[in-house]
Amino acid sequence: MARKSKHRHHPGRLNSVTACISTMMVLILVGTIVFVGTMADNLGRSLKENFTVEVLLDDEIPVKEAYKLQTELRQMPYTKFVSYTSKEKATRLQAEAMGDDPNEFLGESPIPASFELHLQADYANTDSLDKFMPSLKNAVGVTDVVYPEDLMGEVNNNIRKVSIVLLVIALLLGIVSISLINNTMRLSVAQRRHSIQTMKLVGAKWSFIRRPFIRRALWMGLIAGILADLIIFGGIQALNSWDPQAQQIITPWVIGLTLLSVLIFGVVLTVVCAFFSVNKHLSMTREEANLY
């Protein structure tokens, strides 16, 4: 008999492991939501920053004026970086693309030198460009400013639609995640409801009764968060190995934000849910606890 009692299973410990695993699975879902959302935001910004504005220059523009214009363009809030293409280089690139040299049948190339502006993502929309481009067109030595207005509007519209869909999905999955963790903590606390009632009968304060449950929930959330982070990080590394180009979108910021969000969400939510679950049982009478 003594040997049997020595090897008796501890249901409380098993329940804690089960609750920790359940919480970890939910946190993996939370991490996936954050990861997809931040990666989609990075992808949208990357697409916007690929838009360019061509500033076509007059063939007679003095070198000093061209240099001054380049300096001013680099200082503009909408500019990510500026590249210069000379008339000769632009003609050569056009000849390679079309297979004909304009100099051969026109005598001289009609293709002007230009500055190519790569835009900041926040300014890659028609509203911002309509505000800034008129003054640029009137700058000394500038003959025209060209940018893909229709394509830019269409891409921004599509990004907006995708963002709304992702936001709705994230909200729904977030509600599901919170409900699952809340139910997990409620079941974990309910299994010790008789202990809570016993401590109330001997005159223990609510804060004293609540403390071990909060501490247990804190460790459960921390361990579940760490395990979920390890699994998510392994998945991200596998994705990067499968497609090395994904590293352009899956930046250290995306990885760090995802892992930190999972850890904070796991700890905070388990502690908060445990707090309210214990309070619910503390406010029950013994008869209500027996019927729960």
pLDDT, tens digit, for every residue of 13-25?
Answer: 666 777 788 888 8
Q: For position 5, what pLDDT does the model report?
A: 45
pTM, two decimals, is 0.71
Are the CB atoms for 132 and 95 separated by under 8 Å?
no
Residue with tokens 């990861």: 35
Domain extents for the chain? 10-46+155-291, 52-147
* 193 pLDDT above the threshold of 60: yes
CA distance 139 to 134: 9
Show the tokens assigned to 198: 């016993």
Return the C-alpha torsion angle 78, 81, 87, 93, nearest 10: -110
Return the C-alpha torsion angle 159, 255, 231, 44, nearest 10: 10
In one-letter notation, the amino acid at residue 162 is V
Show the tokens assigned to 117: 């502006």
Show the tokens assigned to 43: 């992808």
* 181 pLDDT above the threshold of 90: no
pLDDT, tens digit, for every residue of 83-119?
Answer: 887 777 766 766 666 656 555 555 555 678 888 888 8
CA distance between the termini of the chain: 33
CATH architecture of 52-147: 2-Layer Sandwich (3.30)
Q: For position 94, what pLDDT does the model report?
A: 64
What single string gives the DSSP state of each residue in 233-250? HHHHHHHHHH-GGGGGTS
- 80 sits in which H/E element: strand 79-85
Q: For position 4, what pLDDT does the model report?
A: 44
- Burial of residue 105 (number of CB atoms within 10 Å: 0-12, 13-18, 19+): exposed
Show the tokens assigned to 237: 């590394």
Are the CB atoms for 195 and 278 separated by under 8 Å?
no
pLDDT, tens digit, for every residue of 210-234?
Answer: 888 888 889 988 999 999 999 999 9
CA angle 133, 138, 143 (to 5 degrees): 95
Are the CB atoms for 177 and 228 separated by under 8 Å?
no
